[in-house]
Amino acid sequence: MRNGAKARGARGDPWSGLSALVSEALEGELTVLGLISGTSADGVDAALVRWERGTPAFLGGRTFPYPVDLREALLEAPELSLRDLAVLDRRVAEVFAEAAAECIRALGERPDLVASHGQTVLHPPGEASTWQIGDPDLLADRLGLPVVADFRRADRAAGGEGAPLVPLADLDLFRGLGLPLWILNLGGIANLTYADAGGSCLASDLGPANALLDLACRMRDPEGPGYDRDGRLAGRGEAVPGFVDAFLAHPFFARGIPKSAGREEFGAAFLAGCEDAAGGLSLPDLCASICRACAAAVARGLRLFPPPEGETTIWVAGGGLRHPRLMAELRRGVPAFLFRSLEEGGFDPDLREAACFAAMGRRALLGWPGSLPGTTGAPVPLRLGRWSFPPRIVTREAAGKVRPSSPESR
């Protein structure tokens, strides 16, 4: 287990520790732990990535489900009081810290730094605000490592959409799959990364995906699992055209790219409006209709990207990859592309975003851009992320052990 970052960061000015890491990142090794919980708010994904002279290697990772009551609170976050949100911020950070520590223990590899996306609780359309909770200062204290977090806020402050955030990280990690590179993430929200050999990098959210399926299941079957397990509901349902038409009538789908989406505009009110337009739907028909509508939204979004040349592969990641009806609707509705699991390219599709945030952490360390005009609508390439350092001051003798020093020993 490597322990370099801990010793460097503990001895005095933490910024000098980062300077040492920059040199090591460019000329030797750098190991970063990426953490994220997505729009579906179902748990923390953790992934460890090591770069050796700029070449990435995925060391492993895993997913840590949220406790049921925590997930329920997160899905209701916009309605909570400020005090309750503050409590939730700390509780999410505790779960992130436990997930990170367990991942480090299981893999036997201590990272040089941690990059945490946190948990989005607010990302309203057309506004400059965005909020990801999961206190990075608590993470830095618990893990004894520098933490870079709060990636979206700088992009939104500069006029960008704040999402999708990981296209440059996709390029860092998956360039070896060939260019042009197409990656479709079917998480709570569907989004697309495109990069070509000419240096073009484009991205956009395309519309809701798993988040809407989960919402339909929670609303119609409160005692059920809260999602369409193995796609069984949608698999025995029939898609209703009226629902799909109402879905695609939302103004989001008429906008150009890049654009971002969230639960604020694709939540319960949106779902109810689509259901009303279609008439009474059984839960299986509702799930089948959502799958067809999501696939139609992806098809519409793809028309705003460069046209494919010949048989073109789109690499798919995210939980929607394991939904048979959703994938069938994509293949039926978008025949110009070959949809393949990122697993076929040698990478765990469930951990792609966590690994991408590890790459975002490396970019933040090196001062490289995290977003571009073509990926978030930012006016210029932007550096993203802000740093938190372990707050406990330690003596030189104890630096390698990371034990807090007493006031008398300082």
Q: Check whether residue 186 and residue 158 sit in a common domain.
A: no
The answer to whether residue 338 sits within a structural domain is yes
Virtual torsion, Cα 304, 121, 97, 348, nearest 10 deg: -30
DSSP 8-state class, residue 382 = B
Q: Check whether residue 271 and residue 198 sit in a common domain.
A: yes
Q: Yes or no: say if 291 and 325 are a contact pair by the CB < 8 Å rule.
A: yes
Q: Given a cut of 80, is residue 394 above it in pLDDT?
A: no
pLDDT, one tens digit per residue, over 216-265 is: 999 999 999 999 999 999 999 999 999 999 999 999 999 999 999 998 99
pLDDT at 77: 93
DSSP 100-150: HHHHHHHHT---SEEEEEEEEEE--TTSS--EEES-HHHHHHHHTS-EEE-
Q: Given a cut of 80, is residue 149 above it in pLDDT?
A: yes
Q: Check whether residue 97 and residue 231 sit in a common domain.
A: no
Average pLDDT over residues 158-172: 96
Which of 334, 350, 366 represents a domain boundary (last residue)? 350
Q: Return the structure tokens found at 132.
A: 């990801």
Domain count, the chain: 2
The answer to whether residue 298 sits within a structural domain is yes
Q: Check whether residue 154 and residue 194 sit in a common domain.
A: no
Q: Check whether residue 24 and residue 72 sit in a common domain.
A: yes
Q: Check whether residue 293 and residue 175 sit in a common domain.
A: yes
Q: Yes or no: say if 244 and 294 are a contact pair by the CB < 8 Å rule.
A: no
CATH of the domain at 102: 3.30.420.40
Average pLDDT over residues 163-179: 96
Average pLDDT over residues 130-156: 96
The answer to whether residue 372 sits within a structural domain is no
pLDDT at 12: 55
Backbone angles phi, psi at 165, to 5 degrees: -100, -15
Q: Check whether residue 241 and residue 337 sit in a common domain.
A: yes
409 vs 371: which has the higher pLDDT: 371
Q: Check whether residue 94 and residue 38 sit in a common domain.
A: yes
Q: Given a cut of 60, is residue 341 above it in pLDDT?
A: yes
Q: Check whether residue 267 and residue 293 sit in a common domain.
A: yes
Average pLDDT over residues 253-279: 95
pLDDT at 301: 97
Question: What's the Cα-to-Cα distance from 396 to each of 7, 400, 409, 410, rounded to whole Å?
Answer: 9, 8, 10, 10
pLDDT at 266: 96
Cα–Cα dist 305/315, whole Å: 15
The answer to whether residue 27 sits within a structural domain is yes
pLDDT at 323: 97
Which amino acid appears at position 376 of this protein?
A: T
The answer to whether residue 361 sits within a structural domain is no
pLDDT, one tens digit per residue, over 291-336 is: 999 999 999 999 999 999 888 999 999 999 999 999 999 999 999 9
pLDDT, one tens digit per residue, over 116-140 is: 999 999 998 878 889 999 999 999 9
SS3 label, residue 327:
helix
Q: Given a cut of 90, is residue 56 above it in pLDDT?
A: yes
Average pLDDT over residues 325-350: 96
Share of the chain above pLDDT 70, in %: 93
pLDDT, one tens digit per residue, over 83-116 is: 999 999 999 999 999 999 999 999 999 999 999 9
Q: Given a cut of 60, is residue 408 above it in pLDDT?
A: no
The answer to whether residue 359 sits within a structural domain is no
Q: Check whether residue 81 and residue 189 sit in a common domain.
A: no
Q: How many CB atoms neighbour CB 233 within 10 A? A: 26
Q: Check whether residue 57 and residue 198 sit in a common domain.
A: no
Q: Check whether residue 130 and residue 244 sit in a common domain.
A: no
pLDDT at 17: 77
Which of 305, 325, 350 represents a domain boundary (last residue)? 350
pTM of the model: 0.91
Question: What is the average pLDDT score of the chain?
Answer: 91
From the list 390, 408, 340, the residue with the least C-alpha distance to 146 is: 390
Beta-sheet pairing, 189-195 with 201-208:
antiparallel
The answer to whether residue 177 sits within a structural domain is yes
SS3 label, residue 368:
coil
**Parent domain of 278:** 171-350
Q: Which residue has the tokens 């409160």?
A: 222
The answer to whether residue 248 sits within a structural domain is yes
Average pLDDT over residues 7-14: 52
Count of residues for the chain? Answer: 410
